Amino acid sequence: METRLDLRPTEELDYDALIVPAFEGQKDARFAESLADLYDSGEISGKALEMTLVHRVAGLRAKRLLLVGAGKSDRFNPAELRKCAGAALRFLKGKSVRSIAMLLDAPLAAADYVAAAVEGALLGDFEPDRLKTEKKDEKRVDAFAVAVPGGDSTLDAALQRGRIIAEAQNYTRELANEPGNRMTPTVLAEHARQMAAEQHLECEVLDRDRMQQLGMGALLGVAQGSVEPPCLIVLRYRPESQPSGAAHLGLVGKGVTFDTGGISIKPADNMEKMRYDMSGGAAVIGAMRALAQLRPNVPVTALIPAVENMPGGRAQRPGDIVTTLSGKTVEVLNTDAEGRLILADAITYAKRLGCTHLVDVATLTGAVVVALAHIYVGAFGSDETLTRQVLDAAAAEGEKTWRMPLDDDYKEYLKSAFADLPNIGGRHGGAVTAAMFLKEFADSTPWVHLDIAGTAWLDDPKPYLAKGPSGVTVRTLVRLALDWMP
């Protein structure tokens, strides 16, 4: 879908449909007379994401006018506009509308709103049915414009930024949407290599032999039950100039391309969705794709430990003890708590590569879904400054993120009589004890853990997003790097 900025007067916008945000309790003066009956009857209410489609409005060249409910004006922000744009595009796409413009008047004629409009449209245009061979009544939108009558052409930079970020998020969704037989660790590494070549990033892939030489016993222990070889993907972005001794941001993403639970096997119900257990890794790869084009001032290294967690004659057993890259030993009490094992070695390796600040993203625990449902990402941080930067980045991007506790008291749940620590901490506070486990490997390095188990996959479509992978945290990670404060 083509995206562009259109600065022409409203009456000259000759699209198949023109989208206009409608606020609750307010009449748009331009249409107050021509649409008086609809306003008076309450058909145009302005309630969030309510759609009113009108054909051939006087004074407009656009064939249709779509008033999309924007809710209360005092609560409106770019995140809400993003939803409006996505919902409106999906609504019009279903009606075979091919060219669309979204009208942004003051005070919405600003860079953040322009970027959000493009992001919403591109995210709303994504469909998860790529592998269907027969698509009845397939519909598409050819062009989406952000119309800012009389606006400044410098807004085009905001439009391009929005396009880059949305395309990166959709790329993440494409990766996470691939079934396990088509997205193995090796295939994920190949996608990363190809993306790195296209975006001029450095890419290195550590194979099993190299990881054995280094001593990544936790990562390799998870992988040993599968015939699919594991790998550790390393992507590097370097800014044009970097002062010596400056910060180096490390992004670590869980890349379990399919998770059966191993010997501690999962129930059959919903196991097919476990292809999305590499959503953290996909988000990190997607974020790097955007950062390569947006060029932040901080160097960023991404690490994606990629494995398949399978049962079998060579699979890791409950009770096994593995030695991590850090030298610490871990008693594996549950083989379905595998994500923290592969992340532990990746976090240690990130520090060896010189990363001074770490953020990991993982579909780590069902416990975070119990705590926060499918609404919020759970955030755990060891460093106040970095944690605040991540939370501010998430808030700016409208990705709901809630800070969770990480008190030392929780260490009491991570005790083993046979190793330095177990990989689970018992029944209570599972999301917290999983984070505490990772904190042991981050050690004194400023670190934030984002648990996206409840937000990385949509079981049902939203008005503005299709069912399936959401690509959550891509925007947060990109904003974090772009707004980086030393």
Supply the DSSP symbol for 465.
B
d(CA 249, CA 301): 6
Whether the pLDDT of residue 62 is over 90: the answer is yes
**Tokens standing for 234?**
């390393």
pLDDT in tens, 70-93: 999 999 999 999 999 999 999 999
Instruction: Write a three-state SS string for 122-186.
Output: HHHHCCCCCCCCCCCCCCCCCEEEEECCCCCCCHHHHHHHHHHHHHHHHHHHHHHHCCCCCCCHH
Q: What is the pTM of this model?
A: 0.96
Contact of 395 with 401, CB cutoff 8 Å:
yes
Residue at 153: amino acid letter: S
Catalytic annotation, residues: 266, 340
The angle, 0 to 180 degrees and rounded to 10, between the axes of the packed helices 111-125 and 155-177 is 30
Query: Beta strands 2-6 and 357-362: pairing type?
Result: unpaired
Domain residues of the chain, as ranges?
2-132+140-149, 166-482
Average pLDDT in the 346-362 region?
Answer: 98
Contact of 119 with 162, CB cutoff 8 Å:
yes
Average pLDDT in the 368-377 region?
Answer: 98
Phi, psi of 271 (to 5 degrees): -65, -25
Residue at 471: amino acid letter: G
| First-residue to last-residue Cα distance in the chain | 38
pLDDT in the model for residue 243: 66
Average pLDDT in the 377-392 region?
Answer: 98
Please, which residues bridge with residue 214 across strands? none
Count CA atoms closer than 13 A to 223's CA, side-chain side: 28
Whether the pLDDT of residue 160 is over 80: the answer is yes
Please report which confidence band the pLDDT of residue 486 belongs to, taking 50, 70 and 90 as the band edges: low
In this structure, whether the domain defined by 166-482 belongs to CATH 3.40.630.10 is answered with yes
d(CA 282, CA 361): 10
Question: What residue spans of 215-278 are helical by DSSP H?
Answer: 217-223
Phi, psi of 409 (to 5 degrees): -55, -30
Please report which confidence band the pLDDT of residue 324 belongs to, taking 50, 70 and 90 as the band edges: very high
Class of domain 2-132+140-149: alpha beta
Please report which confidence band the pLDDT of residue 407 belongs to, taking 50, 70 and 90 as the band edges: very high
